[in-house]
Amino acid sequence: MSVSSQIGAGWLTDFVPRRGLSNGHLQTLAGNFLPRRLQLPEPESLLVEVEGPVAGYGPTRVLCHCHWQRREICRERLTLILVHGLEGSSSSKYIVGNTARALAAGMNVVRMNMRSCGGTDELSPTIYHSGRSGDVGRVLEAIVREQDLGAVALVGYSMGANLVLKYAGELGGSAPAQLKAVVGVSPLMDLAPSSAALHLPQNRIYEWHFLRNMVARVRRRMQLYPRIYGGAAVDRIRSMRDFDDAIVARYGGFRNADDYYCRVASSRVAGELRVPTLILRALDDPFIRMLPETRAALLANPHVTLVETRHGGHCAFLASASNGSRDGRWAEQTLAGFLNGFQPNLAG
């Protein structure tokens, strides 16, 4: 395991994969399918408008599920905004796992759905994609305003990690005072090489899984919003690049897939991050690729702690008992330890 700084000396442990899971594919699949028995308290629902009316339809809103500590201490505690990955939702297992851990540590948690995710197609005439970092900012602004919060951290997985890193990097030194930390797990920072890797023969199972769900979502949108998506060309989509060319570029305001991959990549602002940032990535991630220049920019940024493990797969990081975690969820344990340092007040 390599670490770019010693910031995490008190909370960072070596990652030792669970027995039999020293393979990126096995880690990824096990992390996705292993059952978890977690019961969260009933959340408050929050709708945040992120874009105005389009083509005669209503505004685009995202649904957030909010968990607040007791009213008398809520404002004093660190609030996490958790952002899921591609075709995930606020109910994704890693989102629920992080929520349970953060609540137990006395933090507030906001589980954010991207546009149309989590069964919210009716709330979003516009599509979600890797460039919608402004949506994260609007959610942050809404909860800070409504709850008078003093400390917020952003946590994203995969595509969600690209969103939170892009948001913080684009703001640089002008990030809101309430934004205290950012975490990206298996971040999709370089879209072009990662899209190409997803189409490799050994990764087609992942690509088919994503495309099946994504094409089904577009077909639903063709029914809900025919004035926008009535002519969507979905029948010839055979790869993620096809989808990004035919759907994301066309309906997201990009010239083509290459233009999309270039303009939305958080790697472009890796050197501009000015809040404490933790990035966790596994070198055996089956399909997320990080370009050498992106890695170099992160290593050169004193605000970033880059932790690279030999094993761990994509968003999995299932550890052996020797890592000192009861549930073996090393990434969740690690980011919680990092974020504990940003709790403004642990009294009460």
Dihedral sign for Cα 308, 312, 317, 323, please. Answer: negative
CA–CA dist 106, 103 (Å, integer)? 5
3-state class of 271 per DSSP? helix
| Residue range 212-268, pLDDT digits in tens | 999 999 999 999 999 999 989 999 999 999 999 999 999 999 999 999 999 999 999
Pairing of strands 108-112, 60-67: antiparallel
Q: Which helix (DSSP H) or strand (DSSP E) does residue 201 occupy?
A: none
What φ, ψ does residue 27 adopt, rounded to 5°? Answer: -60, -45
| Residue closest to 46 by CA, chosen among 32, 67, 73, 23 | 67
Burial level of 201, CB count in 10 A (0-12/13-18/19+)? exposed
Q: Write down the pTM of the prediction.
A: 0.95
User: Which contacts (CB < 8 Å, 24+ apart) does range 230-238 have?
Assistant: 237/211, 238/211
| Predicted confidence (pLDDT) per residue in 39-79, tens digit | 999 999 999 999 999 999 999 999 999 999 998 899 999 99
Q: Which domains does the chain possess?
A: 2-190+270-340 (3.40.50.1820), 191-264 (no CATH)
